[in-house]
């Protein structure tokens, strides 16, 4: 770990800072370098020293972790003298060219301005924007603003038709972040309600997440018909017939049993690292090496490969499979020297899941290792959600584990979504019928939700978002060490 963080930091900075002009954001402030930025990483310990300097800025910080990275943003967890909690330093590219999609978003922002004026003629639109605000985790995908009627103010956030389905599913998360920001800027009487505006016919996907929020938070859901330029208020929580189901556990086990004999020679190549997973949708059994899929069985035939390039296993290709296993053992290894290799970095959450499955008591000693179910598939409102791990405490209370290996702003509401789905199954007595927790008499208490990830990689907005959840929802945050691949070690429990 000592050499690894410094090495990874140097590699990330070399790649990122070579691409153009940048801006530095830090907790509570902003630094704008003028001219070329120079940098240096000193030391090879677990907290390498990062020195950034330009004509009008000079920043030196101890780096604890690389919290997140994208083509136009590099987020670091840093330590500052005199502060007990880590800070967040974000380096952002400023030489960004607006794509056709972003130009379309700007047009949507103007269209929304007209629609709101017609829909709420007695309100005054005080602000509206679709620009990104990284300091407050606000995405450029959403248009947002505030309107006022007398002494009452209303915050709103809208997503245009044509955005990815994930943008609609995540809209409540970003709307709550905007609500926090709007409350700070409005002051006085505060915000009377939050309006979330989504394309026509898509509001049902918000049902489970909305149902898990604190009922005292006034949230209004609207669907926007872009063609007629009209808004219609809806109540997705009122749709009691929204379908939700779990894959029958017994059927999954039967499928695994059918494939067991044929897969035994493949598993023997790395019995400690390889696990089998049933996929009832297509009647396949997938094999994963520390969480990374590399082979699958279907009706007696076995295919193998990575990156979607599958070969059928035959006498001729048997040697190729053995070479792939050796490659996986070399690069997808907790002690691997190349931390930027694709096989090491791929499917980090599934790797973490595989480790938790080995012994769930590493997360909490009160969890029962004898009853743990992975990738419990739930279906609701036309969307599929995957509950990472569903288990039970030794006192027979349901527990849901949601795992994230990197920063994810959606973690709290995603877990709340799955919580609501499981509550629905419990209310209808379906867990037993689907073959889960056979012979156990479960507590009537609501499930406990565990949010599990590296301690320094929880998104800064996590605490704020958790405050909006229903008070009956008990959430426990488990922070792991940055070197979790070498062994799960809990560093934080909140």
Query: Is 243 within a domain?
Result: no
pLDDT at 32: 57
Q: CATH number, domain at 487? A: 3.40.1350.10
Question: Average per-residue pLDDT in the chain?
Answer: 86
Residue 384 and residue 462 share a domain: yes
Residue 113 and residue 65 share a domain: no
pTM > 0.85: yes or no: no
Task: State which of 197, 213, 238 marks the end of a domain.
Answer: 238
Residue 226's CB: how many other CB atoms inside 10 A?
15
Two structure tokens written together for 169: 């599913």
Report helix angle 411-427 to 171-186, nearest 10. 120
Task: State which of 341, 362, 394 marks the end of a domain.
Answer: 341
Residue 206 and residue 159 share a domain: yes
Mean pLDDT, residues 84-92: 80
pLDDT at 243: 55
Is pLDDT above 90 for 8? Answer: no
Q: What is the DSSP letter of 213?
A: B
Residue 475 and residue 352 share a domain: yes
HSE-up of 180 (CA within 13 Å, CB side)?
17
Is pLDDT above 50 for 178? Answer: yes
pLDDT band of 461, cuts 50, 70, 90: very high
Is pLDDT above 50 for 383? Answer: no
Q: Which residue has the higher pLDDT, 486 or 136?
A: 486
pLDDT at 99: 53
Query: Is 414 within a domain?
Result: yes
Is pLDDT above 70 for 189? Answer: no
pLDDT band of 70, cuts 50, 70, 90: confident
Residue 218 and residue 108 share a domain: yes
pLDDT band of 402, cuts 50, 70, 90: very high
Mean pLDDT, residues 436-453: 93
Q: What is the DSSP letter of 446?
A: P
Q: What is the DSSP letter of 138?
A: B
Mean pLDDT, residues 347-354: 93
Residue 330 and residue 290 share a domain: yes
- Quickly count helices (H) and strands (E) in the chain: 12, 24
Residue 275 and residue 187 share a domain: no
Each residue's pLDDT tens digit, 290-348: 999 999 999 999 999 987 778 999 999 999 999 999 999 999 999 998 888 999 999 99
pLDDT at 101: 55
Looking at mean pLDDT, say which of 204-213, 222-231, 371-380 comes out highest: 222-231
Query: Is 206 within a domain?
Result: yes
Q: Which domain holds residue 436?
A: 348-493
Looking at mean pLDDT, say which of 277-281, 305-309, 449-453 comes out highest: 449-453
CA distance 209 to 465: 12
Contact 414, 462 (CB under 8 A): no
Mean pLDDT, residues 265-276: 96
**165-to-171, 206, 403, 492 alpha-carbon distances in Å:** 10, 11, 21, 33
pLDDT band of 233, cuts 50, 70, 90: very high
* Overall domain count for the chain: 4
Query: Is 23 within a domain?
Result: yes
Contact 417, 210 (CB under 8 A): no
Task: State which of 179, 210, 238 marks the end of a domain.
Answer: 238
Query: Is 9 within a domain?
Result: yes
Query: Is 37 within a domain?
Result: yes
Is pLDDT above 50 for 358? Answer: yes
Residue 80 and residue 115 share a domain: no
pLDDT at 66: 86
Q: Which residue has the higher pLDDT, 138 or 413?
A: 413
Which secondary-structure segment (H or E) carries 464? Answer: helix 462-466
pLDDT at 45: 67
Pairing mode, strands 490-493 and 474-480: antiparallel
pLDDT at 468: 95
Residue 216 and residue 111 share a domain: yes
CA distance 448 to 400: 6
Mean pLDDT, residues 216-244: 79
pLDDT at 241: 41
Mean pLDDT, residues 472-478: 95
Residue 307 and residue 266 share a domain: yes
pLDDT band of 67, cuts 50, 70, 90: confident
Residue 486 and residue 354 share a domain: yes
Is pLDDT above 60 for 442? Answer: yes
Mean pLDDT, residues 356-384: 80
Query: Is 244 within a domain?
Result: no
CA distance 328 to 36: 41
pLDDT at 373: 92
pLDDT at 239: 45
Residue 211 and residue 117 share a domain: yes
The lowest-confidence range among 11-20, 367-376, 464-473 is 11-20
Contact 153, 191 (CB under 8 A): yes
């Amino acid at each position: 770990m000592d050499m690894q963080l410094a090495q990874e930091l140097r590699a990330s900075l070399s790649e990122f800072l070579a691409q153009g002009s940048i801006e530095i954001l830090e907790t509570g402030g902003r630094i704008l370098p003028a001219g070329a930025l120079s940098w240096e990483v000193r030391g090879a310990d677990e907290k390498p020293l990062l020195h950034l300097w330009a004509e009008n800025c000079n920043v030196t910080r101890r780096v604890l972790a690389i919290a997140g990275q994208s083509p136009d943003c590099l987020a670091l967890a840093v330590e500052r003298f005199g502060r007990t909690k880590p800070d967040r330093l974000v380096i952002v590219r400023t030489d960004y060219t607006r794509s056709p999609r972003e130009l379309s978003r700007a047009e949507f922002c103007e269209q929304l301005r007209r629609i709101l004026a017609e829909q709420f003629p007695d309100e005054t639109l005080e602000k509206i924007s679709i620009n990104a605000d990284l300091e407050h985790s606000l995405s450029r995908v959403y248009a947002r603003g505030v309107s006022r009627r007398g002494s009452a103010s209303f915050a709103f956030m809208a997503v245009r038709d044509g955005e990815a389905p994930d943008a609609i599913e995540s809209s409540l998360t970003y709307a709550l972040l905007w609500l926090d920001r709007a409350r700070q800027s409005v002051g006085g009487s505060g915000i009377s309600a939050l309006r979330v505006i989504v394309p026509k016919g898509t509001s049902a996907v918000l049902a489970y997440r909305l149902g898990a929020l604190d009922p005292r938070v006034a949230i209004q859901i609207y669907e926007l018909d872009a063609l007629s330029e009209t808004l219609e208020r809806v109540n997705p929580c009122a749709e009691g017939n929204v379908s939700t189901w779990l894959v029958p556990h017994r059927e999954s086990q039967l499928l695994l049993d059918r494939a067991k004999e044929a897969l035994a020679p493949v598993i023997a190549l790395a019995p400690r690292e390889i696990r089998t997973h049933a996929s009832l949708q297509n009647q396949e059994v997938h094999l994963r090496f520390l969480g990374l899929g590399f082979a699958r069985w279907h009706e007696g035939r076995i295919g193998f490969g990575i990156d979607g390039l599958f070969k059928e296993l035959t006498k001729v290709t048997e040697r190729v499979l053995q070479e792939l296993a050796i490659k996986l053992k070399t690069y997808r290894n907790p002690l691997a020297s190349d931390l930027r290799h694709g096989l090491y970095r791929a499917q980090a959450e599934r790797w973490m899941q595989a480790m938790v499955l080995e012994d769930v008591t590493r997360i909490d000693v009160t969890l029962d290792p004898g009853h743990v179910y992975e990738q419990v598939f739930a279906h609701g409102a036309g969307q599929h959600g995957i509950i990472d791990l569903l288990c039970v405490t030794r006192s027979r209370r349901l527990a849901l584990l949601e795992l994230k290996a990197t920063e994810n702003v959606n973690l709290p509401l995603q877990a709340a979504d799955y919580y609501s789905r499981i509550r629905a199954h419990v209310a209808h007595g379906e867990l037993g019928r689907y073959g889960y927790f056979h012979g156990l008499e479960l507590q009537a208490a609501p499930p406990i939700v565990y949010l599990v990830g590296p301690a320094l990689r929880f998104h800064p907005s996590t605490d704020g978002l958790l405050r909006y959840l229903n008070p009956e929802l008990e959430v426990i945050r488990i922070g792991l060490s940055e070197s979790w691949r070498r062994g799960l070690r809990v560093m934080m429990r909140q």
